[in-house]
Amino acid sequence: MSGWRIMGNAARLRRAAWGFALAMVVLLAVAWPLGAQSPEGLLWQFGSTSRVQAVAITEDGRITAVGSRDNNLRVFDGSGELMWQFEAENSILGVDISPDGQWVAVASEDRFVYLLDGDGNLLWQFKAARPMNNAAVASDGSLVAATSNDLSVYALDQTGNLLWQEELGIGVQAVDIYGSSEKARVVLGSDDGLVTIYSREGRQLLQAGLDYNVRSVSVTQNGALILAGSIDGSAILLNGANGNELWRFEAEDTINSVALAGDGSSALVGSKDGSAYLLGADGTLRHQFRQDSEVLSVALAGDAGRLAVGTVAGASRTYDLASAMRGAERASAQQQRLFISIALLFTALVLAAVWAARNTAAGQQVWQRSSAGPFGVVQAVWSARLSYLLILPTLALLLTFNYYPAFSGLYHAFTDWSPGARTDWVGLSNFRFLMEDRFFLSGFRNAAILVVVSVAKTMTVPLLVAEFIFNLRNRLSQYWFRTLFVVPIVLPAVVEILVWNNIYDPAIGLLNESLKLVGLEEWTRVWYGDASVALGSIIFIGVPWVNAFALLIFYGGLISISNEIIDASLVDGASTWRRFWSIDLPLLMGQIKLLLILNFINAVQTFELVYLTTGGGPGAATYTPALELYYLAMRMDRMGVASAIGMILFFIILAGTIVNMRFVKSSTEYEA
């Protein structure tokens, strides 16, 4: 009876496994055509070979100024047509354009700051001792501020007269202006982390200190909000009235440029990490514009909902905000479509179940009992409401914490996933990345080794010990050996690894000390630090590998072998050796099968063993896929690639389990 139940469960589980595999295949087939998406919202782009070091855009988004290293300032209209061009003597390092597009300030490596009018005519130029690295112009052109590599800031009036100059004595390249005419104010960020507001006359009005060098500042037209980007990768919004921090956004690398919409309703942050981040008024990430290279400069036109990005590779791109956001929505719509497909899949499964109910003998009975027709089913469901209620908590938990993450993992394996920020479908590129990731590849090889070794360890020594104990003639010694061999199980798994870390300690570890004691000094080494022995050292942990669990299982299997069989073999004069091969081993197949699959599953997922010992090193010598998964997800925030690893391991385990259930015969099947 119980034997039947075991069979029944195995069959059921096998069916569930096949069903699951089938569901996955259908899921992938459904998900495939969704394909990778093109960059959304791109209005136009201008590509050149030299880096774009400055971009500026008018508030209506109609005019974009692009300054690049080829000494040219190019001004484009809203559709990307070149309107006019201005050539300086050297690279253009900074550009600012007034909100109405009537004034353009240009800072160049040729040491000049230029003021141009809306048609590209030069109004005046002013020379400093060293290259000018950035410039800003007031909305009415009445004030121009320029920062220079001579560690000074210059303020000039409409006609190019120097109003004041301040020598800061420290690097400065972040400058912006708000207000107009007499009320114009200069906001300055410097390498000592200070953000300072100066009046038109050069008087310091406010100073706020940040922790790192300020690379870029941007201020709203009324001066209420100041956004500062610093080299540690944070963009910090300050209250323009008192310098208090309002929020902060962390990019992955140094921030090169920031821009605030004129009314402060949105912000744009360009970072060395290759992205321009669009932030909402509260500092939450609304969209990430990924570029092919480091973002040097960004500009934002709040009214028009446009933004411009300049990159190291020489591209300047202008995007339309609304359609970019729609693109993001479309991505999430793709996600919805996927979940709808899943729902359809389940519906199909349910329909299949109904079909089975109507067309099989057993199903027919059930069907008839529930009194034919959909109404009968509803009635049956209603009358069983208590049953559903009682399993509801279980189901709710399982759906939330097991089913949902499983499907989420399988789906996100095909995405560039940064929770809270973006989920972009990237097709197979995560898998392509892994195929070239030497840590993953090395991990894969190591996992294969660990699987083989772990199975070998469990199948040999514990079985040997179990047979020996079983064959001892003294009952008391049997008892004591069995008990003592099992004692180490009380150590938490982590403690065993940590103790072995101490044994391997190169300075004062048991292993090296023992080698010295017996005069094998030349054999001592840094066990985890030597690529040729590191993996071996890890495998050696736990020697002589008398796994208590395996021992108990084998021993349990041995003592349950019926006396008659053993007696019969004794009568027939079989040797112990012969008995082992012909009786014990076949009858232990159930146990062997169990340990085989448990070891396989655990070894494929090996994590602690390497995380706590070598951490994957030296180099990539002892990586495992699970370790790479952990590093990718937790240290590099590459959840999509991590999910892809999870998916690969899942399919490996699934395949192994099916093979094990299908092809390794167990004793139950022997007898059945």
Partner 1 sequence: MVQARGGEGTGQAATVVTGETVDSGGGWPDSATRFVHKLGQLSSSQILMYVILIILLFITFVPIIYLVALSLKDNGQIYGRFWSMPNPYRWENFGLGSLAIWRPILNSILTSGSSTVATVVLASLSGYVFARHRFPGKEVIYTGILALLMIPPILTIIPAYVLILNMGLENTYWALILPWTSGGQVFALLLCRSFFATLPEEFFDAARIDGASELQSFAQIAVPLSAPILVTVAVVRLVTTYNQFMWPLVVISSPKRQVVAVALTQFTSEIGVTDLGPQMAGYILASIPLIVLFSFGMRHYVRGLTAGGLKA
Q: How far is the CB of 158 from partner 1 (least distance, A)?
A: 53
The set of residues, in sequence order, having a beta carbon less than 8 Å from that of 347 and lying 6+ positions away, is: none
User: Is the torsion defined by CA of 197, 237, 266, 47 positive or negative?
Assistant: positive
Tell me: does residue 450 bind partner 1 (CB under 8 A): no
Please identify which residue in 107, 186, 451, 626 interacts with partner 1, judged by CB under 8 A.
626
Please identify which residue in 395, 520, 568, 659 interacts with partner 1, judged by CB under 8 A.
395
CB 645 within 8 A of CB 639: no
Decide whether 103 or 249 has the Cβ nearer to partner 1.
249
- Residue 485's identity, in one-letter code, is F
Please identify which residue in 536, 544, 615, 619 interacts with partner 1, judged by CB under 8 A.
544
Please identify which residue in 184, 276, 553, 621 interacts with partner 1, judged by CB under 8 A.
553
Please identify which residue in 289, 504, 555, 623 interacts with partner 1, judged by CB under 8 A.
555
The set of residues, in sequence order, having a beta carbon less than 8 Å from that of 233 and lying 6+ positions away, is: 250, 251, 252, 253, 254, 255, 271, 273
Decide whether 242 or 487 has the Cβ nearer to partner 1.
487
120 Ramachandran zone, left/alpha/beta (phi>0; psi -120 to 50): left
Tokens in use for 474?
A: 């003294």
Tell me: does residue 650 bind partner 1 (CB under 8 A): yes
Decide whether 10 or 281 has the Cβ nearer to partner 1.
10
Helices (H) and strands (E) counted in the chain, each on its own, are 21, 30
Tell me: does residue 47 bind partner 1 (CB under 8 A): no
Tell me: does residue 13 bind partner 1 (CB under 8 A): yes
Helix (H, G, I), strand (E, B) or coil at 359: helix
Maximum C-alpha span of the chain: 118
CB 64 within 8 A of CB 301: no
What HEC string does 456-489 produce? Answer: HHHHHHHHHHHHHHHHCCCHHHHHHHHHHHHHHH
CB 317 within 8 A of CB 308: yes
Half-sphere exposure of 43 (CA within 13 A, CB side): 24
Tell me: does residue 508 bind partner 1 (CB under 8 A): yes
CB 632 within 8 A of CB 640: no
DSSP for 83-134, written as a single string = EEEEE-SS-EEEEEE-TTSSEEEEEETTSEEEEEETTS-EEEEEE-SS-EEE
Tell me: does residue 654 bind partner 1 (CB under 8 A): yes
Decide whether 76 or 554 has the Cβ nearer to partner 1.
554
Tell me: does residue 234 bind partner 1 (CB under 8 A): no
Tell me the per-residue interface mask from 245 to 284 with partner 1, x by CB under 8 A, - otherwise: ----------------------------------------
Q: How far is the CB of 414 from partner 1 (least distance, A)?
A: 13
CB 130 within 8 A of CB 158: no
Tell me: does residue 642 bind partner 1 (CB under 8 A): yes
Q: Residue 143 and residue 477: Cα distance in Å, rounded?
A: 97
Please identify which residue in 108, 142, 454, 667 interacts with partner 1, judged by CB under 8 A.
667
Please identify which residue in 12, 203, 337, 438 interacts with partner 1, judged by CB under 8 A.
12
Q: How far is the CB of 36 from partner 1 (least distance, A)?
A: 21
The set of residues, in sequence order, having a beta carbon less than 8 Å from that of 125 and lying 6+ positions away, is: 112, 113, 114, 115, 160
Q: How far is the CB of 485 from partner 1 (least distance, A)?
A: 7
Decide whether 151 or 421 has the Cβ nearer to partner 1.
421
Decide whether 17 or 449 has the Cβ nearer to partner 1.
17
Tokens in use for 614?
A: 């070598």
Please identify which residue in 207, 400, 460, 582 interacts with partner 1, judged by CB under 8 A.
400
Q: Residue 334 and residue 423: Cα distance in Å, rounded?
A: 10
Decide whether 17 or 123 has the Cβ nearer to partner 1.
17
As beta bridge partners, residue 157 has: 143
Decide whether 165 or 418 has the Cβ nearer to partner 1.
418
Please identify which residue in 556, 659, 662, 665 interacts with partner 1, judged by CB under 8 A.
556
Tokens in use for 103?
A: 């004034």
Q: How far is the CB of 536 from partner 1 (least distance, A)?
A: 17
CB 271 within 8 A of CB 27: no
Q: What angle do CA 381, 385, 388 make, to 5 degrees?
A: 95
Please identify which residue in 32, 375, 401, 523 interacts with partner 1, judged by CB under 8 A.
401
Tell me: does residue 615 bind partner 1 (CB under 8 A): no
Number of residues that make up the chain: 672
Tell me: does residue 19 bind partner 1 (CB under 8 A): yes
Tell me the per-residue interface mask from 462 to 491 with partner 1, x by CB under 8 A, - otherwise: ---x--xxxxxxxx-xx--x--xxxxxxxx
Tell me: does residue 244 bind partner 1 (CB under 8 A): no
Tell me: does residue 500 bind partner 1 (CB under 8 A): yes
Decide whether 231 or 561 has the Cβ nearer to partner 1.
561
Q: How far is the CB of 427 from partner 1 (least distance, A)?
A: 19
Options 247-255, 451-459, 522-530, 650-658: segment touching partner 1 (CB under 8 A): 650-658
Task: Say how far residue 390 (Cα) sits from the centre of its chain.
Answer: 38
Q: Residue 259 — φ and ψ, nearest 5°?
A: -145, 140
Peptide bond into 33 cis (omega under 30): no
Q: How far is the CB of 134 from partner 1 (least distance, A)?
A: 38
Options 28-36, 118-126, 206-214, 541-549: segment touching partner 1 (CB under 8 A): 541-549
* Footprint on residues 411-440 left by partner 1 (CB under 8 A): 412, 419-420
Q: Residue 462 and residue 554: Cα distance in Å, rounded?
A: 7
Options 72-80, 154-162, 255-263, 551-559: segment touching partner 1 (CB under 8 A): 551-559
Tell me: does residue 151 bind partner 1 (CB under 8 A): no
Tell me the per-residue interface mask from 567 to 596 with partner 1, x by CB under 8 A, - otherwise: ---------x----------x--x---x--
* Footprint on residues 274-333 left by partner 1 (CB under 8 A): none
Tell me: does residue 386 bind partner 1 (CB under 8 A): yes
* Footprint on residues 333-362 left by partner 1 (CB under 8 A): 349-350, 353
Q: What angle do CA 562, 564, 570 make, to 5 degrees?
A: 115
370 Ramachandran zone, left/alpha/beta (phi>0; psi -120 to 50): alpha
Please identify which residue in 402, 521, 619, 665 interacts with partner 1, judged by CB under 8 A.
402
Q: Residue 213 and residue 232: Cα distance in Å, rounded?
A: 8
Tell me: does residue 388 bind partner 1 (CB under 8 A): yes
